[in-house]
Structure 1
Amino acid sequence: MLGVVQTADGLPIHHEVFAGNVAETTTLIPTLTKILKRYPIERVVVVADRGLLSLDNLESLQKMTVGNRPLEFILAVPARRYGEFDTLLEEHHAQHCVGATHEVVGELVWQGQRLIVAHDPEAAATQSESRDKRIEALEQDAERWAGKLVEQETGRSYRGRKLSDAGVTARFYKAVTDAHLGHILKVALNSKDFEYDLDEKALKRARMIDGKLLLVTNMPDYSPEEIVSRYKSLADIERGFRVLKSEIEIDPMFHRLPNRIRAYAMICFLALVLYRVLRMRLKAKNSPYSPNRMLEVVRRIQHHQVTLHRKQSAKGLTTLTPEQKDLFDTVNLPKPSKIAL
């Protein structure tokens, strides 16, 4: 497992390779400790997605200090895992989110920490509509199967194997599970007949959570809007991992020995640093080119070697286009010089 630390500007500064059976939550504190020893950092803000927050991790983060100040954090809350958020959100949702036409950001208190709630009405409508369509399709399937079961009992026959209540229950339960709707469509697995129930309370709760981002933070000097903006910058780190997997192609890794795996990861990390520096230079000059697009353009530069009939040889580069010359100037790199014939 590969861990990468980068600055708020997107520059990778540290990486580690962990054993594949190590949980993410156990790697955070040791990595932070190494970073604080290596760099003269005065303020650290840990931004993490929903996979990190647990009461144990929260307690560990609260105990850490950076110099004379506590470690600060912005952690996304896995709201669907904590029933205690229902009561907090119900009143906030009714007062601020119902009828909203643009993103609404508010603040609550949870276990002595700031709980930032961001509600995106467009995302909420999209999520609710998608869920309703999945529920409707499943209920139509259930109605069709139930109808066939009733008609079979009256003597009507269909092609293929005869349906049974147990078989239909198993098929419907799998369909509900695959659609991640088991908390709303409750299938009666222990009943001898095919039965299910739509949990209206669970559906209402799901609609209330739609479009919401919940963040726990201990940062006192940032507004709720700034906290949300900081958290959304986490997407830039995730883009770095996508670059490692796609453009740099860190996977698959055909190595077995630990030292070779770490060496390979180091090379890929250095490639990511170069990729990000290239991106920063393009951005500083307001260039419309992405690193990928620039690399596509400069890859067209070729080196040729020609052998003539008297065994004389000539070699050199293809002539740079104006586009290629401009790109080298934009990122402040010397143009490749022609090799003497």
Structure 2
Amino acid sequence: MFIKVTKSGPRRYVQLVEAYRDDTGRPKQRTVATLGRLDQLGDSIKSMHEGLSRILGVDGASAAGSGTPQFESSRALGDVWVLTQIWKQLGLDRLRQALKQRTRHRIDLEALLRVMVINRLCDADSKPGTLRWLKTVSLPDTSLESVNHQQLLRTMDALLEHQDVIDKILADAVRPLVSEDLSVVFYDMTTIRAEGLSEADEEIRQFGKSKEGGLARQFMLGLVQTAEGIPLYHEVFPGNTAEVGTLKSSLLKVLERFPIKRVIAVADRGLLSLDNLETLQKIVLPSGAPLEFILAVPGRRYNEFADLLAPFNQRAQTADESEIVGEEQWNNLRLVVAHDRHRAAEQTAQRDATIAQLEAQAAQWVGKLDSQDEGQRSRGRGLSDGGVRARFYHEVCEQRLRRIIRVDLKSELFTYDIDEKALALARAMDGKLLLVTNTQDLKASEVIARYKSLADIERGFKMLKSDIEIGPVYHRLPDRIRAHAYICFIALVLARVMRERLYQNPVPDVCSPERALSVLRRIQTHKVTFDAQAPVTGISAIDAEQAAVLASLKVKKPTTDVEYVNL
């Protein structure tokens, strides 16, 4: 039964109503008693309320709401909830017991590590920023009562002290997602900017050429992932490390952790060198099979293959297809080449326009030099052959046309010429992708498709740098920097698992982990206290979109029977 207020004309009546079902099972209501007109009942309602409160054992004055209710600020739950559940589904909660057995820390290292990982995905910030973020969320299933800055730093130190056990549990979590029969492994490196001017022992913050351009103090991050985008391994290198020397060690460590029968390593063109190829061909998997690889040829070495590709170039000129694929033999390896006609036309047109612009600038300078030699005055500072030569050479190098536009640096006068043979070679190589591989059973088109999938690892780097905000790094100690990269790597694992589930069970307008977390963040916890009574906690209603996202991610809805901690 329940109290219901009904209207009849201008008057309002208080009724005691009972809900029931008729013989057909349809829900209905019937009036048990009419208690009277609302405007005439007065203190009668209060008396009835106090009487019922005594029967129920509730203080009448408090139950009547004589005091002012106290509302706490709502806290985000949905995003933290789903990441916590995926953390458990992957088995990463095993870290709690494993770390507890190996350390004397009184703090819950697993819970603190989980907090830092989830923060990278929900609201990436510094360690003080993480503490501020904790005041805006509710943490499910945690033993934490409070968190401070020193505890977060101690957790980072423990992360590397016990990296072996953490690596094992993380590998166990990822292993079911990796095919044992065939794993196409992608490898690439990126640069992460580091701040600070101090120097530490075994410093990894070194000045090097940044991927964003220019020189910067940085460290290098190598990343290995599967064709499905699941991260397998990462490693931090000093900021001035050459990329070609990192591939072998990283792949061997991946093979130690994952019992893969066959590996095809796909790497970008910056990793190809003759020495590296010889080293890769010597790598043998634990199964006894050789390591297979697909490596891109850097553009600076295209001229080495000009004669070999001459027949292919002739066929490409007469072909009607937008992209044609072929292959040749080179040093006992397969040289697979793809030619994109539209891309070739764009590259040729862009180069020709750049050359025309440089020649127009050179002609203007030459005209001014000739006028000066004839004694004619012009506005602005005078030119010299040496100055024009230096400026022109600098612009040619900036446009990467030094092999085509040859500036005579020894002549007293400013002179240059166009190397027609080099220009013809460049045009012949426009729109081409050259790959070196030792695979035997993959078709040339399949080799090309495998390499083009490498773009997915670039998206992983983009997520590390934008959403997870791995850099810039303000830590000074090398181990703290490595721990920071490790935390970001684990966050990337969770994000890629989310992405895979969203791909398998798509939700309209929710196509990325970032969007999914944004939708779920609207699920919040609320707490209100009436006078001296126990606080009442609730969870905001879950709408259809949020329910669909939770189902897609294979996570149950949050319920009030779980303890939520507000730090």
Larger Rg: 2
Q: Which stretch of the first structure deviates more once superposed, 256-265 or 209-218?
A: 256-265
Q: 2:259 aligns with which of 30, 35, 40?
A: 40
Select between 83-92 and 219-228 the one with higher mean Cα deviation: 83-92
Provide the alpha-carbon RMSD of the alignment. 2.1
Q: Secondary structure at the match of 1:124?
A: helix
Contact 2:507 2:548 in 1 (8 A): no
1:300 aligned onto 2:534: no
Question: Shift of the alpha carbon at 1:98?
Answer: 4.4
CA distance in 2 between partners of 1:181 and 1:274 (Å): 44
Q: Which residue of 1 aligns with 2:24?
A: none
Output the CA distance in 1 between the equivalents of 2:359 and 2:498: 52
- Counterpart residue number, 2:291: 71
Report whether the alignment pairs 1:327 with 2:546.
no
Q: Which residue of 2 aligns with 1:182?
A: 402
Q: Following the alignment from structure 2 to structure 1, what is the Cα–Cα distance between the partners of residues 526 and 444?
A: 58
| Counterpart selection for 1:5 from 217, 224, 232 | 224
CA contact (8 A) 1:74 1:218 kept: yes
1:58 is matched with 277
Residues 85-129 of structure 1 deviation map (CA, whole Å, 9 limit, x = unaligned): 111122210123445441100010111111101001111111111
Distance change in 2, residues 1:146/1:259 (3 Å): same
The answer on 1:280 being equivalent to 2:500 is yes
Deviations 1:244-295 (A, max 9, x none): 1111110011112222122211110110001000000000013452222222
Question: What amino acid maps onto 2:380 in structure 1?
Answer: G
- Specify the code of the residue in structure 1 equivalent to 2:463: V
Give secondary structure in 1 for the equivalent of 2:435: strand
Higher mean alpha-carbon deviation, 150-159 vs 233-242, is at 150-159
1:119 maps onto 2:332 in alignment = no
Structure 2 Cα separation of the partners of residues 187 and 194 of structure 1 = 8
Contact 1:281–1:331 at 8 Å: present in 2 too? Answer: yes
Does structure 1 conserve the Cα–Cα contact (< 8 Å) formed by 2:232 and 2:254?
A: no
Select which of 440, 444, 455 maps to 1:224: 444
For CA contacts below 8 A with separation 6 or more, give which structure has more relative contact order: 2
1:162 aligns with 2:382: yes
Query: Offset at 1:338?
Result: 5.9
1:29-85 Cα offsets, whole Å, 9 max, x none, are 222222222221100111111111111111111111121221111111124325321
What secondary structure sits across from 2:295 in the alignment?
strand
In 2, distance between residues paired with 1:315 and 1:139? 74
| Distance change >3 Å, CA 311–CA 190, structure 1 → 2 | farther
Q: Displacement, 1:207? A: 0.6
- Kindly report which structure 2 residues correspond to 1:77-116, keeping only aligned pairs within 5 A, or say none: 77-81=297-301, 83-116=303-336
Find out whether 1:243 has 2:467 as its counterpart: no
Q: Which moved more, 1:331-340 or 1:11-20?
A: 331-340
Going from structure 1 to structure 2, the CA distance change for 1:212 and 1:23 (only over 3 Å counts) comes to same
Matched position secondary structure for 2:248: helix
Match of 1:16 in 2: 235
Q: Which residue of 1 aligns with 2:35?
A: none
**How many Å apart are 1:322 and its aligned residue?**
2.2
Q: 1:134 to 1:338 in 2, by over 3 A?
A: farther
SS at match of 2:251: helix
2: CA distance, partners of 1:82 / 1:105: 16
In structure 2, how many angstroms separate the alpha carbons of the residues matched to 1:16 and 1:168? 46
Output the TM-score relative to the length of structure 1.
0.92
**C-alpha distance in structure 1 between counterparts of 2:375 and 2:538, whole Å:** 85
Q: Give the conservation status (yes or no) of the 8 Å contact 1:188–1:194.
A: yes
Report how far residue 150 of structure 1 moved: 1.6
Q: Shift of residue 211 of structure 1?
A: 0.6
After superposition, the Cα gap between the structure-2 partners of 1:97 and 1:318, relative to the gap in structure 1 and judged at 3 Å, is farther
Paired with 1:299 and 1:203, the residues of 2 have a C-alpha distance of: 56
96-105 or 144-153, larger mean C-alpha shift: 96-105
Q: Which runs of 5+ in 2 are unaligned?
A: 1-219
Report the counterpart of residue 210 of structure 1 in structure 2: 430
The question of whether the paired residues in 1 share the 8 Å contact of 2:225 and 2:233 is answered with yes
Amino acid at match of 1:28: L
Rounded Cα–Cα distance in structure 2 between residues aligned with 1:239 and 1:251: 16
Number of paired residues?
A: 339
